[in-house]
Amino acid sequence: TVAPDPALAAVIETPVYDLTVFKLHFGKLTLKAYTKGEHVLRFEAITHNTGELRTGRVLDRFCDIVTALAGMLDRFLTVCDSVHASFADDHTPGQLPQPARLGATRLGGIDINRPRARAALSAALSLASRPAGFTAADFTAKIQVITGDTGYTARQAAYDMRKLRAKHLINRQGCSRRYQTPPDAVRTIAGILLLRDQVLIPCLAAIRDPALAPPPASPSPADQHYAALRTQMRALLHNCGLAAA
């Protein structure tokens, strides 16, 4: 397997009781979220070396540094909001596998039943919070970490990124070689992955084997919803004449 880059990491800390600190490290830049009192959630953007912001380091550039940090924090909050309120309409699953065009180039669709396609979507979602966007090299490294496949090449990454661009799931930043995942795409990608991994697969697995696992002693709201869905879906499949085998 591929070890994650220590300079690019998500860290959850619980230094004291009832306090959780969530950090995203991007080299010498950090995004931080933590509780502040009983009803306040605080977010911060931190630079450990202002050279990472590419704004200059002299005192005259202080306003530019603060503006860059504010933009970094604003994008992080936008991504958090998009993931929290993810959405995929009824046309998206059918449109993604269809061929698309990027300029004059005709490209294949995105089949979420294929592990490589799901890894590409997950990589675009994971890199959405990067302050300055991401490069093809970042995308390649992220997929290698997600899949554990060190044989995934930059050429394969370039092709997968073109397919994502054709579906407007990532955008190029101007004329640069950096890319970003726009908020609407973050919402769509999160919705698709959640539907597949957290709704459809668990429900189908539970329908196939109603005694898959003993019920928890103190079921959470999510556990209760899964139990209700399992019961209703078994009845729906029976009425439709579809065997749960």
Burial (Cβ within 10 Å: 0-12, 13-18, ≥19) of residue 121: buried
Residue 89: per-residue pLDDT: 73
120-144 average pLDDT score: 92
Name the token pair of 64: 């530019």
More confident residue, 89 or 169: 169
pLDDT digits (tens, 9 = 90+) for 174-232: 888 999 999 889 999 998 888 888 777 777 776 666 555 666 778 888 778 877 877 78
Q: In whole angstroms, give the CA distance from residue 25 to residue 203.
A: 35
pLDDT tens for residues 23-39?
A: 888 888 899 998 877 78
- Distance, in Å, from the CA atom of 195 to the CA atom of 242, rounded to the nearest integer, reads 21
pTM, two decimal places: 0.77
Whether pLDDT at 3 is above 50: no
Tell me the pLDDT tens digit for each residue of 159-172: 999 999 999 999 99
DSSP code, position 134: B
Catalogue the E-assigned strands of the chain. Answer: 8-13, 21-26, 29-35, 41-47, 100-102, 105-107, 171-172, 179-180
**Nearest CA among 36, 136, 99, 111 for reference residue 144:** 136
Residue 120: pLDDT over 90: yes
